[in-house]
């Protein structure tokens, strides 16, 4: 997805960021991330407004404090990184087509299993609708291949009933259909 690649490039190019992840929030804090870390939450929300796409991206800038006295330093660094990212997004508009629509932020402390600290930024990024209006993506007479819901199998029973008795160790039972024919039968 283009927006994920965009955030990956921002993280890769930033001098202080050592890692990037795009994933579910519950995956954070597994202690296998390189900090300071940029975490882009999945899913990314979006909407179309006036021929533009608007993305709402939740991005955590996280570090691991060395103790309680270090939490404010980690948060201050994360805040600076988040503000600089917002400015960088705006500066890339001529080359990427992404424009900063605004953002909110909230501080994080004792965050997830690894007790990270930092800031969560919710960026609203706007892009002109990138649809290729010249492409021919539809075929009026296209048909899907027909797929049967269940595979066919041959029946050896002259009554047309299938007997499944190759499973040893199951309890003995018979399931009868309305015609009185056993549908499932265990070894007797």
Per-residue model confidence as pLDDT tens digits over 46-92: 999 888 999 999 999 999 999 889 999 999 999 999 999 999 999 99
Name the pTM for this structure.
Answer: 0.70
* 4 pLDDT tier (thresholds 50, 70, 90): very high
- pLDDT, mean of residues 14-22: 94
Cβ neighbours of residue 13 closer than 8 Å, sequence gap 6 or more: none
CB distance 161 to 155 below 8 Å: yes
In a domain? residue 98: yes
Domain count of the fold of the chain: 2
In a domain? residue 140: no
Q: 122 has which bridge partners?
A: 58, 104
In a domain? residue 90: yes
Same domain, 173 and 101: no
User: What distance in Å separates the CA atoms of residue 64 and residue 77, rounded to the nearest whole number?
Assistant: 11
- 3-class SS at 95? helix
In a domain? residue 142: no
Same domain, 118 and 171: no
Q: Cβ atoms within 10 A of the Cβ of 83, count?
A: 15
Same domain, 52 and 108: yes
Q: Which domain holds residue 9?
A: 2-128
Same domain, 111 and 169: no
User: What distance in Å separates the CA atoms of residue 55 and residue 141, rounded to the nearest whole number?
Assistant: 35
Question: 187 pLDDT exceeds 60?
Answer: no
pLDDT tens digits along 94-143: 999 999 999 999 999 988 777 889 999 999 999 988 777 777 888 888 88
pLDDT tens digits along 138-156: 888 888 888 777 666 566 6
Residue 135's pLDDT is: 78
Q: Which residues of 12-39 are buried (b: 16+ CB within 10 A; e: fewer)?
A: eebeebeebbbeeeeebbeeebebbbbb
């Amino acid at each position: 997805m283009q927006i994920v690649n965009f955030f990956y490039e921002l993280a890769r190019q930033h001098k202080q960021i050592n890692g990037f992840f795009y994933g579910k929030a519950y995956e954070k804090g597994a202690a296998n991330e390189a900090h300071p870390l940029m975490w882009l939450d999945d899913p990314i929300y979006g909407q179309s407004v006036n021929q533009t796409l608007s993305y709402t991206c939740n991005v955590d800038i996280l570090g691991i404090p060395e103790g309680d006295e270090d939490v404010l330093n980690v948060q201050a660094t994360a805040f600076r990184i988040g503000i600089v990212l917002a400015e960088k997004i705006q500066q890339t508009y001529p080359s990427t087509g992404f424009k900063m629509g605004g953002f909110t932020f909230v501080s994080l402390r004792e965050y997830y299993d690894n007790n990270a600290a930092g800031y969560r930024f919710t960026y609203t990024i706007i892009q002109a609708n990138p649809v290729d209006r010249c492409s021919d993506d539809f075929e009026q007479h296209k048909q899907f291949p027909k797929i049967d819901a269940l595979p066919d199998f041959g029946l050896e029973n002259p009554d047309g009933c299938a007997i499944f008795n190759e499973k040893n160790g199951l309890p003995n039972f018979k399931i009868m259909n309305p015609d009185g024919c056993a549908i499932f039968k265990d070894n007797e």
